Structure 1
Amino acid sequence: MKDINEPSTAPLVIADEPVNSEVIKTTTATAKNSSNKKSAGVSSQMQLLALAKNFVLDGGLVSSDKQMPLEERTQKRARIAALRKQENLEAIIKKSVNYCSATEFTNKADADWFSTFTELAEDVSNTTMQNLWAKILAGEISQPGSFSTKTLKVFRAMSITEAKLLAKACSLAVTEQTKRNIRIISGAYQTPGLLNFFSKNREQNITFSQFSLSYADLLILADNHLVFIQETESNPMNKSESFHFNFNGKPLTLTANKSSCVLKFYKFTPIGSELARLISDNIDDTYLQHLKSALSENFSIIEG
């Protein structure tokens, strides 16, 4: 996903004396000229003034003799907000058309779902997020029922940073062959017995932090109802018994090297599984090699 520019964290400097209208006029003009540039290096005051002007909230910064009447400012803000929402939705629709097929026929789309979609997407102006909303719309139109309204509401509350965390989690996840369950393998162990109880190699854990996914990130994903934070375990497997997964488009077979081997993993929620469809396959060979090495005591992993 593309990075977005973040506001400068430079502190707002407050003068000892009131700012006069000429200073506001000059600073506002400078902010307007800078609004088309990258925000990095632009002061927080200039950014705030630019935003206030764009959203018609700068009336209080103008001297009273030059102010537009409050009612007119309110009407202007409502009109510009409506235009911005219209522009956002039209941009999403335009992007979504490119993800739809012109030849495949599908069931009739749900007008109520589409109405909810427009209400939730109308304030999305970030290009990266618009692309994801466009994919949601195209996915639902192509296959009605792909995205629930509950999923739409969760996604609307997500920031671009949280969307990137979901993409990172997807890059480390495996999918069952039925494509119903998505999970991130977190480790493996052999159930304790007389012969292995004191063995240091009885249990292995995957360290995600070296692949830019910390436990704190998992907590954020769980807070957004995308993954279950409680680890899940498979049933103990017999020796030579196998799991069959898909890792970002590549088939993987995990075979138990011993009896009573257990696989541990974090599961995606139904909402997380729906949103994972928006993420393109992105194989991380470094992670795959790490997974093979980390689980080698109890499981053999074969690609293809």
Structure 2
Amino acid sequence: MTKISSLSGQQRLRQLARSQLGTAVRIEEVSQTKADTGDASPFADKHQQLAARSGAGINQTGLSLAERADRRLLMQKERQQLNLERIILLAQDYCPEQVSTQEVDPDWFQQYCQLVLDVSNGNMQQLWAKILAGEIASPGKFSLKTLHALKRMSYKEAIALQQAANLSCRSKQDPSGRIYFGYIRRPSLWQWLTGRGRAVLNLSQFGLSYPQILSLTDIGLLHSAEIETGELASGLSLNWQYQQQLLSGKVTKNVVLQYYKYTASGAELLPLLSVQPNQAYLQAIKLLLADVIEFNL
């Protein structure tokens, strides 16, 4: 049985910051520029704003090339420190009161800190903060491989993962999640006459496009190949969990189901997302499988 520490999650987080970073986390509120808020402005204004943020501002008269380089590096280090402190501070919101007595691996935490230095997007910072809080609560929960996969993820790809999560079903056989999209039946005379040996659902109708699937595959969150179940025999009972809804039914014809499967890294990230059930997808997949699976009402 896992022992419970007397320290709360937030206390453990502050302890981790002091022991590994050498200081308590302090953060200053920084006002956002027009470029951050996305307000429309002339090209020249946006160009100057980006140049200033990079440390290579146009109006740096009187400074030598070496001085301009030093200034840029200093700004970069300050920005990275601010990103790190913001994420650690955000993690406090997700820390549970009770955590195990096992300490976070210091090597894991050092790599984590290096990976978040250049994460400036607010939504991505929230995701990284959840990971730190989860690791404090249960050390070993997130692998370094998952951290590096997340580092490769852009905000656009994070949206794609959210869309994939909204379409994911779970079962006792595969609690990591599956995205069902079709089925195949063995050739038969009836199928030859009717042409109904296979059916496929276009997931782009429900927010998950094929380019998004490819991008999630490229960063290692989905397996590259479409997965097929073994042949499910007629009479087999099925029990799936779609978000908070239980889907139960019985296979009426021997069939092979097709789905996209998450990698280990993708499965570790899924619980961090706030999923929204897509009722249109649920109805469409039930209609698609109606010829081979009889779902209970």
Among candidates 78, 87, 93, match of residue 92 of structure 1:
87
> Do the aligned partners of 1:235 and 1:262 also contact (CA within 8 Å) in 2?
yes
1:163-203 residue CA offsets vs partner (Å, 9 max, x unmatched): 00010011011122265432110112322234433333332
- Alpha-carbon distance, 1:256 to partner: 0.6
- The 10-residue stretch of structure 1 (176-185 or 161-170) with the greater mean CA deviation from structure 2: 176-185
CA distance in 2, matches of 1:118, 1:185: 36
Corresponding residue of 2:275: 281
1:74-106 residue CA offsets vs partner (Å, 9 max, x unmatched): 222222222211111111111111111123334
Among candidates 65, 68, 74, match of residue 79 of structure 1:
74
Q: 1:142 corresponds to which letter in structure 2?
A: A
Change (3 A) 1:79 1:250: same
Corresponding residue of 1:158: 153
Asked if 1:38 corresponds to 2:32, the answer is no
Uncovered stretches (5+) of structure 1, i.e. residues with no partner = 1-31
Corresponding residue of 1:9: none
CA distance in 2, matches of 1:252, 1:182: 14
> Do the aligned partners of 1:187 and 1:206 also contact (CA within 8 Å) in 2?
yes
CA distance in 1, matches of 2:194, 2:32: 67
Matches within 5 A, 1:184-195: 184-195=179-190
Corresponding residue of 2:49: 50
Change (3 A) 1:95 1:184: same
Q: 2:73 corresponds to which letter in structure 1?
A: A
Corresponding residue of 1:23: none
> Do the aligned partners of 1:218 and 1:229 also contact (CA within 8 Å) in 2?
no
Corresponding residue of 1:263: 257
TM-score for the superposition, normalised by structure 2:
0.82
Q: 1:49 corresponds to which letter in structure 2?
A: Q
Among candidates 114, 117, 125, match of residue 122 of structure 1:
117
1:11-38 residue CA offsets vs partner (Å, 9 max, x unmatched): xxxxxxxxxxxxxxxxxxxxx9963673
SS in 1 for 2:233: coil
Identity %: 32
Q: Which runs of 4+ in 1 moved over 6 A?
A: none
- Alpha-carbon distance, 1:294 to partner: 1.2
- Alpha-carbon distance, 1:247 to partner: 1.3
> Do the aligned partners of 1:165 and 1:217 also contact (CA within 8 Å) in 2?
yes
Q: 1:200 corresponds to which letter in structure 2?
A: G
Corresponding residue of 2:295: 301
- Alpha-carbon distance, 1:128 to partner: 0.5
> Do the aligned partners of 1:136 and 1:147 also contact (CA within 8 Å) in 2?
yes
Corresponding residue of 2:242: 247
Uncovered stretches (5+) of structure 2, i.e. residues with no partner = 1-30
Q: 2:54 corresponds to which letter in structure 1?
A: F
Corresponding residue of 1:24: none
* Structure showing greater relative contact order (alpha-carbon pairs closer than 8 Å, 6 or more residues apart): 2
> Cα RMSD between the aligned structures?
2.2
TM-score for the superposition, normalised by structure 1:
0.81
SS in 2 for 1:196: helix
Structure possessing the higher radius of gyration over alpha carbons:
1
Change (3 A) 1:131 1:249: same
Asked if 1:172 corresponds to 2:167, the answer is yes
- The 10-residue stretch of structure 1 (191-200 or 215-224) with the greater mean CA deviation from structure 2: 191-200
